[in-house]
Structure 1
Amino acid sequence: MKLRIAATAVALTTVIAACGAQQAGGGAAGAWPRKGKPITLIVAFAPGAAVDAAARVVAPVLEKELGTNVEVENRPGAGGLIGYTALSKSRPDGYTIGATSSPSIVISPLDPSRGATYTRASFQPLGMQVLDPMLVGVAPDSPYQNLKDLIEAVKAKPKSVTVTTTGVQTGEHFALADIQQKTQAQFAPVHFSEGAASAIAAFLGKHVDAYVGNVSDVKPHVAQGKIKVLGVMGAERSPFLPDVPTFAEQGYQIDAATARGYVAPAGVPAEVRTKIEAALKKAIEDPAVVAKMKDLGLPTVYKSGQDYTTYWAGQESNYKQALPLVRNEKG
């Protein structure tokens, strides 16, 4: 009798443990997302920015794959710091993810003066969607016909040309610092912390002399004759701007691009994360999404969550070395 009771107790304990494991593991993924519970997709930049545009193209397909609404929520400001902070503090249950732009999300916690409360380890990369080269552009009626004209003019008269970035220690800021360090031309940076939409508006309004940003930012404006691109910071010419030479072609060894993708706050259960990653891969590689991205001037370059993590680590290493170059360039 005692043996039978003991055996029953052991069996009951095993069942309870199995149920707990199921809830913490596969059962959590199986029940996720709950019917009617939406997923919030935080964008750390203003509406109209490239990272926002990419997220809004992906969201409808992501909804279809996951079977629930995906609500894009913009949290702009401080070069992405506000949105990234909100994302890092979100509950790691899969119901809040973020559309991010790196190197900004990688760079912001590297300098204590920025006051970031998160680190790279605060996030779990889910997949990369875009690799968008940077460029330098000027007004169509500008006297500068090529990079050499611009750089020589600034070398002759330091700080005489204002130039946009999307905030202190963002990718554009680091690209500008690299240009200055390698050419000895000292520009006057003007930082627009809400993102590319504000920067391009200021440039088009003739409040800033030159624009540093991504190919996707200017593609429609080039077509309308509103900006003259002097050089692209890629290993090869952009298919969206085939007539524009690279920096390297003009004798300047500068290569810079923005990677855009998706992350979750660290700690999301592995099974839930796997489900989101799979849905993102299908959404990013969906032919209709790829076509829409191409129309926006955003080249699709997919990387898995693991590969995106590795890419982030490489960026962190590179920008740690470059950080001293931008500390005295806060505009």
Structure 2
Amino acid sequence: MKSWKAITSFTCVTASLLTLAACGGQSEESGSAEEADFPEEDITIVVHTSAGGPTDLMARELGSAVETIIDQNVVIENLPGGSGATQMSEIASAENNGYTLGTMTPSQMGLLNGTLADQYSLEDFSWITRTQIDPYIIAVHEDSEFETLEDLVSYAEENPNDLNVGGYGGTGSGHNIAFNIFSESANIETNWTAYESTGDAVTALLGQHVDVINSNPGEVSQYVESGEVRILGVMAEEELAEMPDVPTYEEAGYDVDTDWSQFRGIYAPADVPDDVKENLSELFIEAMETEEYQEYMTNAQMQEGSMTNQEYDEFIQNQDELTSDWYERLGVNE
């Protein structure tokens, strides 16, 4: 394996006495040498979901790609609980040296604007990189009368609050807000049915216990292939590469804010040094460009979403504003 970018560009490689003479014993040079070749230890990524889910898979694929670049290991630890609250507490209290990181999704944004609002803020964490976008979709059972989004909207207009829509999480969850954004654009009203996972919502649709679900491509692709599920639209700026016949909401005639997305990324405790954040960001971006990771992205039907730490910081600020706005509109904290 090749060694990765060093934080400092100067290293003395002689016997110890000659090193002291060459470097002149300067404390500034000595301090820099101690920071050389980050990372020098194994990196741990704490995942806020159980093993086997899409976020866990992302972390493992990303870690595997990173290990082809550096000489250290990337250790994946699963710490589910409290919709991400347990992991968030672990990250907040970790040492800020860049060796303990966490996976990040809209779940954490919800916590920061909801149940953990009095405990944490954006400033209590460091934002390292965004890794991917897992687009939101609207899907129906194959036996549904809805062939298009327009069909669904026409029915909902004539029958307010009659359609039952299923998805992961209650009011204010990422999926719930995504469907509310669509509903607002289409000017329709429906009933939301919350499930403990997107997989549970898919199961409910297969059993025809709900009329519609808000999901992600990877969760329904096998049922699309078998003809049991039909995707009506995707909440993204571009069509899905693996499903080019599925229109975006905009193509179907519904102008929605695609800034709201099912994103995944990496974050860390507060006050991680800027050079460490930059090096981590560059490391992950390089890993995301590997053939191994790109193959995973294609197979999982994810969209590219890599960002530098500066870009990700700005993105998180925007997501925080969007989350706060929708929480207020939906009365989540009342």
Among 90, 93, 103, the residue aligned to 2:94: 90
CA gap of 1:138–1:55, structure 2 versus 1, over 3 A, is same
In the alignment, the residues of structure 2 paired with residue 90 and residue 159 of structure 1 have an alpha-carbon distance, to the nearest angstrom, of 46
Aligned residues, how many? 308
The answer on whether the counterparts of 2:181 and 2:257 sit within 8 Å (CA) in structure 1 is: no
Which letter maps to 1:236? E
Q: How does 1:231-270 map to 2 (within 5 A)?
A: 231-256=233-258, 257-270=261-274
In the alignment, the residues of structure 2 paired with residue 48 and residue 226 of structure 1 have an alpha-carbon distance, to the nearest angstrom, of 23
Among 25, 40, 46, the residue aligned to 2:50: 46
1:10 aligned partner:
none
CA gap of 1:203–1:267, structure 2 versus 1, over 3 A, is farther
Give the 3-state SS of the residue equivalent to 1:302 in structure 2. Answer: coil
Give the 3-state SS of the residue equivalent to 1:59 in structure 2. Answer: helix
Which letter maps to 2:221? K
Q: Give, in angstroms, the shift of residue 87 of structure 1.
A: 2.3
2:163 aligned partner:
161
Among 179, 186, 190, the residue aligned to 1:187: 190
2:321 aligned partner:
317
Q: Give, in angstroms, the shift of residue 294 of structure 1.
A: 0.6
RMSD: 2.9
The answer on whether the counterparts of 1:81 and 1:116 sit within 8 Å (CA) in structure 2 is: no
The answer on whether the counterparts of 2:135 and 2:302 sit within 8 Å (CA) in structure 1 is: no
In the alignment, the residues of structure 2 paired with residue 329 and residue 229 of structure 1 have an alpha-carbon distance, to the nearest angstrom, of 32
The answer on whether the counterparts of 1:159 and 1:188 sit within 8 Å (CA) in structure 2 is: yes
Structure 2, unpaired ranges of 5+: 1-23
In the alignment, the residues of structure 2 paired with residue 200 and residue 182 of structure 1 have an alpha-carbon distance, to the nearest angstrom, of 24
CA gap of 1:262–1:31, structure 2 versus 1, over 3 A, is closer
Are 2:215 and 1:213 equivalent residues in the alignment? Answer: yes
In the alignment, the residues of structure 1 paired with residue 82 and residue 227 of structure 2 have an alpha-carbon distance, to the nearest angstrom, of 31
Single out whichever of 123-132 and 146-155 deviates more from structure 2. Answer: 146-155
In the alignment, the residues of structure 1 paired with residue 274 and residue 217 of structure 2 have an alpha-carbon distance, to the nearest angstrom, of 35
In the alignment, the residues of structure 2 paired with residue 17 and residue 312 of structure 1 have an alpha-carbon distance, to the nearest angstrom, of 38
Q: Give, in angstroms, the shift of residue 229 of structure 1.
A: 0.6
TM-score (ref. length: structure 1) = 0.81
1:9 aligned partner:
none
Which letter maps to 1:192? Y
1:5 aligned partner:
none
Among 113, 119, 122, the residue aligned to 1:120: 122
Are 2:309 and 1:305 equivalent residues in the alignment? Answer: yes
2:178 aligned partner:
175
CA gap of 1:319–1:54, structure 2 versus 1, over 3 A, is same
Structure 1, unpaired ranges of 5+: 1-13
Q: Give, in angstroms, the shift of residue 114 of structure 1.
A: 5.5
Q: Give, in angstroms, the shift of residue 260 of structure 1.
A: 1.6
Q: Give, in angstroms, the shift of residue 143 of structure 1.
A: 1.7
Give the 3-state SS of the residue equivalent to 2:248 in structure 1. Answer: coil
The answer on whether the counterparts of 1:248 and 1:254 sit within 8 Å (CA) in structure 2 is: yes
1:110 aligned partner:
113
CA gap of 1:70–1:206, structure 2 versus 1, over 3 A, is farther
TM-score (ref. length: structure 2) = 0.80
